[in-house]
Amino acid sequence: MIRPHLKPGFLAAMLHRLSGIALAVFLPMHFIALGMALGGADSLQSFLGVTHNAFVRTAEWGLVTALGLHMALGLRVLAIELFAVRERSALVVSACVACSLTVGLLFLLNGS
């Protein structure tokens, strides 16, 4: 018997919420960074130069992965609510995590 907090539905809800919180915290900073383009390409470039280090790259990878994960798990919620899809296995949750990790890896590899 699977303990309640290890059930796929619970894990999906927890991952959905945690990734959502990460995105909500990140979004204002992302907008502020992009707003630097108002000062011209040099202004934005000086900021981008500061972000070229392993810590920021890792954080970017995490956030892109979180975005993919939040979207995939959100689609799961919409499918359950709007189309009365009943998923009983960990397959959907695993697929959501796999898709988001793939997106994160693509982002990481493309930028290197």
- What CA–CA distance (Å, rounded) separates 103 from 64? 7
- What CA–CA distance (Å, rounded) separates 89 from 96? 13
Query: Which C-beta is closer to another protein: that of 1 or that of 28?
Result: 28
Residues 71-100 binding another protein (CB under 8 A) are 71, 74-75, 77-78, 81-82
72, with CB counted inside 10 A (0-12, 13-18, 19+), is buried
Residues in contact with another protein by the rule CB under 8 A: 17, 20-21, 23-24, 27-28, 30-38, 41-45, 47-48, 64, 67-68, 71, 74-75, 77-78, 81-82, 103, 106-107, 110-111
